[in-house]
Amino acid sequence: APYPTAPSSLLAQACAMARLPLLLGLLTHRVVAVPSLVQEDSLAATSTTEANARQAEASIAQVQADLKRMATFGEEVARNLREQEQTKQDVSHALSYFRRQIELGIGERDAATGHVQRLDSEVASLQSRVRELEGKLATCQTDKRTLSDANKKVIHRLQDVFKLGQSVETGLALQGLAIGDTNSTDV
């Protein structure tokens, strides 16, 4: 998997360490390619060659140490990049989790808002029905009073008619006796 580009300071260090094998090759070439000196200077040349060889070995050791540090640095960069990628994935998962929770919260809020609106509508409808029934109740109470008064009047009239009927019957009965007495004496 390709890694993201390293910061400029890391890139500069990596480029500097990449030059070390080239320097090692140049030093080796220089040590090997030292021209042989004249025979009389062979002793001085030998000591110079040995000094150059020691210097080359020291340079090689330094380059090897630098290569080792570069390998360690490369491993560290790779590890840091893996950790960074893992952190990015974790953050991405966390963000998607939060987005999902927000979507669920919005859905629940919308459902609750819809439920509240339905309840408000039902309450308004019931309040309207209560007002309508209260209006009908007032009308019914007025009708009840009117009917009660009418019933009282009808009952009172019926009682009067009954009393009148009784008095007529009593009067007729009395007259009948009187008429009956007259008829019996006439006969």
What residue has token string 């390709």? 2
Residues found in the chain: 187
* pLDDT confidence of residue 8: 54
Mean pLDDT of 110-135: 95
Taking CA atoms, 1 is separated from 4, 18, 36, 78, in Å, by 10, 22, 52, 11
* pLDDT confidence of residue 89: 96
* pLDDT confidence of residue 117: 95
Residue 4 pLDDT greater than 90, yes or no? no
Mean pLDDT of 61-70: 89
SS (H, E, C) 35-58: CCCCHHHHHHHHHHHHHHHHHHHH
Average pLDDT, the chain: 81
Nearest C-alpha neighbor of 116 from the set 124, 105, 104, 127:
124
Residue 1 pLDDT greater than 50, yes or no? no
* pLDDT confidence of residue 10: 55
Please report which confidence band the pLDDT of residue 22 belongs to, taking 50, 70 and 90 as the band edges. low
Nearest C-alpha neighbor of 16 from the set 78, 69, 60:
69
Please report which confidence band the pLDDT of residue 38 belongs to, taking 50, 70 and 90 as the band edges. very low
Query: Which of the given ranges, 27-41, 60-74, 100-114, 163-177, has the highest pLDDT on average?
Result: 100-114
* pLDDT confidence of residue 167: 87
What is the spatial distance between Cα 127 and Cα 26, in angstroms, rounded to a whole number?
99
* pLDDT confidence of residue 6: 45
